[in-house]
């Protein structure tokens, strides 16, 4: 379970790239990177109670882990762009245009 610890803004020109269902790419400005930490994880299992299955969960402690991830703005909040299923990469708009042009030439 990741929690935001800090945010560092990126200069203008950075974008998050997403692959659409039709195979095209869309970019959105990347506001910066999130520093996140995890000290717990959630364990889930099914348990039979009265003849039917019930989903049970519990939080478990773990050693502290950190990660730095590109952010996106979703409904006015910062969230990890890389957690979106169609996320491809984060790059400068110039780098992405060059990479996309290279893919089109293949």
* pLDDT tens per residue, range 18-53: 999 999 999 999 999 999 998 887 788 888 888 888
Which pLDDT belongs to residue 11? 97
- The Cα 1–Cα 18 span in angstroms is 24
Of 2 and 20, the structure prediction assigns the larger pLDDT to 20
- Pick left, alpha or beta for residue 99 (phi over 0 → left; psi -120 to 50 → alpha; otherwise beta): alpha
Percent of the chain with pLDDT over 70: 94
Look at the block and give the residue holding tokens 């909040």: 77
Q: Is 23 exposed, middle or buried (0-12, 13-18, 19+ CB in 10 A)?
A: exposed
């Amino acid at each position: 379970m990741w929690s935001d610890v800090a945010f560092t803004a990126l200069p203008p020109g950075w974008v998050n790239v997403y692959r659409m269902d039709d195979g095209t790419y869309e970019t959105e400005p990347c506001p910066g990177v999130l520093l996140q930490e995890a000290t717990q994880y959630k364990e889930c299992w099914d348990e039979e109670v009265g003849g039917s299955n019930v989903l049970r969960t519990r939080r478990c402690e773990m050693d502290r882990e950190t990660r730095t991830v590109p952010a996106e703005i979703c409904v006015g909040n910062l969230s990890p762009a890389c957690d979106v299923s169609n996320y491809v990469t984060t790059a400068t708009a110039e780098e992405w245009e060059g990479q996309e042009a290279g893919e089109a030439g293949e």
